[in-house]
């Protein structure tokens, strides 16, 4: 159980730059409102790190921009019944 008066830990996740900017602004507002008595952990980028985010996984390792890169990054279906099809193939049965 948390001890009385301990600063809360807030878990925040952002997977792309606009989320990082919004997350950073949210964290700044929460830090101001609590007088700095708050801690953050999660996944984010530079803006959230500037506000004290303890990063578990850097956002740059997760972010994929553009539909072509996203589709190309999808793994082949590993199930034995899948044959050679990839995820998202509509005509595969």
> pLDDT (tens digit, 9 = 90+) per residue, 8-28?
999 999 988 899 999 999 999
User: Which of 41, 15, 16, 7 is CA-nearest to residue 27?
Assistant: 41
58 vs 63: CA distance, rounded Å: 9
Is the pLDDT at 72 greater than 80, yes or no?
no
For 16, phi then psi, to 5°, come to: -155, 165
Global confidence as pTM: 0.61
CA distance from start to end of the chain: 51
- Kindly report the length of the chain: 93
């Amino acid at each position: 159980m948390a001890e009385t008066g301990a600063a809360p830990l807030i878990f925040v996740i952002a997977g792309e730059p606009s989320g990082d900017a919004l997350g950073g602004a949210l964290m700044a507002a929460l830090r101001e409102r609590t007088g700095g008595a708050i801690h953050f952990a999660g996944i984010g980028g530079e803006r959230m790190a500037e506000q004290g985010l303890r990063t578990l996984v850097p956002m740059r390792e997760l972010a994929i921009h553009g539909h072509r890169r996203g589709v190309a990054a999808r793994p082949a279906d590993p199930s034995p019944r899948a044959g050679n099809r990839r995820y998202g193939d509509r005509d595969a049965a």
